[in-house]
Amino acid sequence: MEQSRKGWFGEFGGRFAPETLMGPLIELERAYDEAKVDSVFIQELQYLLKNFVGRETPLTFASRLTEHLGGARIYLKREDLTHTGAHKINNAVGQILLARRMKKKRIIAETGAGQHGVATATVAARFGLECVVYMGKVDMERQAPNVQRMKLLGAKVVAVESGTQTLKDAVSEAMRDWVTNVGNSYYLLGSALGPHPYPSMVRDFQKVIGEEARAQILLAEKRLPDELVACVGGGSNSIGLFHPFLSDFLVRMTGVEAGGRSSVPGEHAARFDGGSIGVLQGTQTYILQDASGQIQNTHSISAGLDYAAVGPEHAWLRDQKRAQYVNVRDPEALDAFHLLAKLEGIIPALESSHAIAYAVKRARDMTKDQILLVNLSGRGDKDLNTVLEADEGKKHG
C-alpha cells in the first residue's frame, strides 16, 4: 500500500495552503525528511520516549471486561499511562525536537480536548521554548482542568471565539498565527491532518503505538489480534496503532468516530457517515459539509473527536477497504466510560471511551479464542466534570 504522490494517499491529502505557508511547509518537509534518517535525531527521540514519556506503555489484558462480555479476549494499549496521560505526547516530543533543530523559538499549537495542548506545553517547558495554544471557548469550558495544566506549564492559552468555538476554529486560528509569525514560529499540529507533511509526520511519530502493540501481543498470545479498535477524531492515535499492521491483511481495523446525539447534521462528527469529499484546512478528505461546500457544525460529548474533517490517510484506508469506520453515540461512550472504570479500574478519556463502546458491542459477536486490541488513547480525569454533568442530566432526565 504505497502513496501515489508525495503527500497524497490515493486521492486524499495534498497541500492546500495559503501562499505564505507554502514556503514554510516545504521547509518543514525538508527538515523532517533529513531528521528522520539522522541517527542523532532518532536516538534523542528514543531517549525522550523512554525517559520522559515513559515508553513503552503496557498492553493490559482486560480480564474482567472480557469475562463480563463473554466473547473475544480484550487487550488495552495503555497510552493513558504516558506522561501527560494521552498519546499526544509521542508526537509532541518528536516535533519539538524538529522545531529545535529548525531553530524556532516559539511554538504554536491548537487543541480540542486539551491533551495536545498539554503535551505541547509540556515539551515546550522541557526545552525552554515559548508556547501559545489556541483552544475553542466551548472546549475551554468543558476541559477546564487541561486549561489550568497548560497555564501551570507556562503556556499562553488563547480562547477562540469564532465559528463553533471548537477544534476546527482552533486550527484556523493557529494557522493565522503561523502565517503572521512564520519566521520565528513552529506550528506543532497535533493530529494526522492539515497540509503535507503533517499527516505523514504525525503518523510517523505515533507509529510507536502500533509497533509496540504488535510486539507485545505476539509475546502475550503468540499471534496477531483479530481486530484493532481506536477512536478517530483527526485520527492520530488510530493511524499510529493501525499503520504497523497494514500488511497484516488478516488483522481487521476499526476506527470509531463520534456519533454525537443523532445522525442529524450538526449533531455528530461522523465524517464517514454523513460527510463527503472536500478540502478543509489544507487537506483533501471526507468532511462534514452542506451542498454548497460550507462546513457544517459538529457535536460530540468528547472535545477531541468533535471535528469536521478526518485525517486523509484514514479516508484512503477506508476507500481501499483496508479499515472500516463506525460511529458511537454520546450515551454509549458514557456507558463504556463507567464500565471500564468499574470493571478494570481504569478511567478512560471520553475519546477513548468511544473505542471501548464499540469493543463492548463487537466482543460479544466474537468467539472466546479471538483477540480484540483496543487503543486506550488517554486517561479520563479531564472529563470528570462532563461525565458527572451528563449523569446528573440522565437522573433528572
Partner 1 sequence: MAKFIPFLVVGDPDLDTSIKVVEILIEEGADMIELGVPFSDAMADGPVIQSASERAAQSITLENVFQFAETILKKHHGFPFVLFTYYNPIFKMGIEAFAKRAKKAGIDAVLVVDLPPEEAAMYSQAMKMNQVKTVFLVSPTTSKERLKIITQASTGFLYYVSRAGVTGVQSEVSKSLTREVAEVRALTSLPIAVGFGISNGEQARQVSGIADSVVVGSAFVKLISEFRTTQSLDSVRALAKEIRIATQSQ
Helix or strand (DSSP H, E) at 119 = helix 115-127
Binding status of residue 291 toward partner 1 by CB under 8 A: yes
Binding status of residue 275 toward partner 1 by CB under 8 A: no
> In terms of CB distance, is 180 or 320 closer to partner 1?
180
Cα distance between residue 309 and residue 317, in whole Å = 15
Cα distance between residue 251 and residue 350, in whole Å = 25
In terms of phi and psi (left: phi > 0; alpha: psi -120 to 50; beta: otherwise), the region of 154 is: left
DSSP codes joined into one string, 193-209: -SSTTHHHHHHHHHHHH
Where in the chain does DSSP place strands (E)?
Answer: 8-9, 12-13, 59-61, 73-78, 106-111, 130-136, 156-160, 185-187, 227-231, 252-260, 276-280, 283-287, 324-329, 371-376
Binding status of residue 24 toward partner 1 by CB under 8 A: yes
Cα distance between residue 288 and residue 166, in whole Å = 15
Binding status of residue 18 toward partner 1 by CB under 8 A: yes
Size of the site for partner 1 (CB under 8 A): 39
- Provide, rounded to whole angstroms, the least separation between the CB of residue 263 and partner 1: 21
Q: Which of 3, 20, 43, 320 binds partner 1 (CB under 8 A)?
A: 20
> In terms of CB distance, is 10 or 331 closer to partner 1?
10
Report residue 63 as a C-alpha cell: 480480564
Binding status of residue 310 toward partner 1 by CB under 8 A: no
Q: Is 172 a catalytic residue?
A: no
Binding status of residue 200 toward partner 1 by CB under 8 A: no
Which residue out of 29, 77, 79, 88 is catalytically annotated?
88
Among 264, 258, 293, 261, which residue's Cα sits nearest to residue 276?
A: 293
Binding status of residue 54 toward partner 1 by CB under 8 A: no
Binding status of residue 14 toward partner 1 by CB under 8 A: yes
Give the footprint of partner 1 on residues 140-199 (CB under 8 A): 162-163, 168-169, 171-172, 175-176, 179-180, 182-183
> In terms of CB distance, is 6 or 223 closer to partner 1?
6
Report residue 280 as a C-alpha cell: 478543509
The residues assigned a catalytic role are 88, 110, 377
- Residue numbers at the binding site for partner 1 (CB under 8 A): 14-24, 26, 162-163, 168-169, 171-172, 175-176, 179-180, 182-183, 276-282, 284, 287, 289, 291-295
